[in-house]
Structure formats: structure tokens, C-alpha cells
Amino acid sequence: MPADGNNSQFQIYLQPGQKIRAEKFTLENLAWLGRGGNGTVFRMIVVSGDLRGLIVAVKFLESLEDAERVARFNQEIQILERVNHPHVIKVLDKGEFNDRDRQIPFFVMEYQPRNFEREFEAHPRGFHPDSVLPLCLQMASALVHLHRKNIVHHDLKPSKVLFDGNNVKIADWGIARLVERSGLRSIVTPHGEELAPHFYISPEQWKWWRKETTDHPDKPSDIFQFGLIIYQMMTGFNPNTVHQWAEAEGEGAQQRVPSEKMRNWEESLFNDVGGIVREMVDVDSDARPAADWVQDRLLVLFRAYTSHFTALYGARPGREF
């Protein structure tokens, strides 16, 4: 049945063990994973073809009559099909499923059991120091690849960074590179979830969302959001708030920008990474570095840190999750 009597929101239900056919593979449903602003995701297993036995995630579009959501869904498929990077989620197949005389489009993608949002909840004081740089380098590599293709994510936050304990994959490209204001409009889902704004929004995105500017948020917004994620990996704390960019109330009142909320460390590793992050979260988007500059700086720190660790202990640092 449509949700709340609204024909534009069509909820799909699949039984455990139910099979569906994509263009290349047959899939068997295992479990429902969740419902977001632009569809429902199930965990399934491939039961035919070369990838038989592979666990995958399958995303179905439910808002069939909402032209904006259909466009976002199709755009997400197109972006993922043209990107081939080990740290960007990969589309494996796509198709349509007939449910109550309606053709429901879906696509099949790689499955990752965890994401950074859950990891931050499990590690409220931050990740183990030995894991921070390798994970940062993986994300930086993905952003360099994407920005060279002129693809901007626009919504980079912990829930969109999938994780299997060793490797990250950036996911959820529903509003990537949308140049219309609707890409950052507050869209309320049937469960009351708002897509924007959120605690990882950049200053220019906030102004765009409030229609205070006609300048489109671009690659620097991804850098700002990436910087916040790095800082949270180190400390468990996000120095940004969605209200940060609102006008301060009261005469002489001032808002503290994220870089002013960041702590200083005596430890050389976090102090050096923190210096990079301060440049990434600059309020002035033109002052932020490009993704390849961030990658270069992180690589310098990684080489220095691993060399120092090996000299002291005769082994490279290990990760702890």
C-alpha cells in the first residue's frame, strides 16, 4: 500500500528468500536494511552468474511519481557507473522489479556492513591513532579521483562512508553534482528524516540552502566535510554545528568557527593532521586546499610516521577495531 495515502510514495516489501532478477544476475533477498529519503535498501545474495554467493546491497526507488527523486536516483546510478575506484561504492547490476503492477527500478551495489556513523558511536573518543592516516588516505584518494572527473558529492558525512573494518567506500550519490537548489532543499521523508541541513554542512551550503547566495557549492564543500570527518576520527568530536552559520544573536555576539574549537595536541601525529584539517575547514571556501594537496600532505605524514614507528619497534603500526 502507498504510505499515508500518498501515491507518490510506494513502499516495497520483500520476503526473506524471495528472488528477483536483475539484468545480469538473479538475487535472493536476505534482509531489509533500511529506508531513506530516496529509496529502500535490502541485503541480498547473488545466486547466479560469476558473482554467485556474493552478498550485495540492493536499492529500490519508491517515490515513482516524484520527478526530483527519480532524477536523483538515476543520477546516482550514472555517477557510480562512470566511477571506477576501490574506495567508491561500485554498481554491479540494475533492473526493474514488478510489484503490484508497478515497475520498481533498482540497482545492485557492493555491500559494506558498517559505516563511520556507527564507528563513531562505538569509539566516542576517536579511532585508534594507527588507523587514522590509512583511512584518511583512502578517502583522499577517492576525492581526488572524483574531483578530477568534476564530480562533487555535496553530502559527505559519516553515514555515507561505508566501512568493513579495513577499507572505506564512499556511498550515497543521490545529490552529487546537482546544480539546482533542490539538491540542498530540506526534503522530509515519510519517517520525518530531513536530508539537509546537517551537522556536516559547509558555510556556503548553509547560505545556499537559505537562498542567501546564488553561488553553487562546489568541490571546497567536500573538502570542508572531509576535514570534519578527519577531526572526528581523531577526537570523536565534530566541531561544526548546523547553527554555526546562522547570525549570532545579541549585540557583539560572535559565532566560533570550527577551527577555533579544535584542540592542540602535544602528540606530533595529531598535531600535524590537525594543521591540515584547520586549512580544510576554513570558513572561506576559496582558502581551502584541493583534494590532491590534502592527499600529498597526508602521504608525507604517513611516510614519516610509519618510518619512525618502524625505527623504534621494528614493525609497522597496526590497526585496532
Minimum mean pLDDT range among 50-59, 257-266, 283-292: 257-266
Q: Percentage of the chain with pLDDT > 70?
A: 75
Phi, psi values for residue 266, rounded to 5° = -80, -30
| pLDDT, position 171 | 87
Q: Band of the pLDDT at 185, cuts 50, 70, 90?
A: very low
- Tens of pLDDT, residue by residue over 67-124, are 777 877 887 788 788 888 999 999 999 999 988 778 889 999 999 989 999 999 999 9
d(CA 15, CA 162): 25
Residue 26 has pLDDT above 90, yes or no: yes
What's the CATH number of domain 3-110, 3.30.200.20, 3.30.420.610, 1.10.4080.10, 3.40.50.2000?
3.30.200.20
- Mean pLDDT value of segment 29-48: 88
| pLDDT, position 289 | 96
Nearest in space to 169 (alpha carbons), one of 200, 126, 139: 139
For cell 602528540, what's the residue?
267
| pLDDT, position 306 | 78
The whole-chain average pLDDT of the chain stands at 79
Beta partners for 307? none
- Mean pLDDT value of segment 240-248: 58
Task: Please tell me the pTM assigned to this model.
Answer: 0.81
| pLDDT, position 66 | 73
| pLDDT, position 190 | 38
| pLDDT, position 140 | 97
* Amino acid letter, residue 87: H
Q: Where in the chain is the domain with CATH 1.10.510.10?
A: 114-313
* Amino acid letter, residue 238: N
d(CA 95, CA 216): 33
- Mean pLDDT value of segment 160-167: 90
| pLDDT, position 191 | 38
Q: Where in the chain is the domain with CATH 3.30.200.20?
A: 3-110
- Tens of pLDDT, residue by residue over 289-321, are 999 999 999 999 998 887 665 554 455 555 544
Residue 5 has pLDDT above 60, yes or no: no
Minimum mean pLDDT range among 13-22, 205-214, 225-234, 255-264: 255-264
Residue 245 has pLDDT above 60, yes or no: no
Residues 6+ apart with CB under 8 A from 54: 45, 46
What CATH class is the domain 114-313?
Answer: mainly alpha
| pLDDT, position 10 | 61
| pLDDT, position 194 | 42
Q: Percentage of the chain with pLDDT > 90?
A: 40
- Mean pLDDT value of segment 176-194: 38
d(CA 252, CA 244): 16
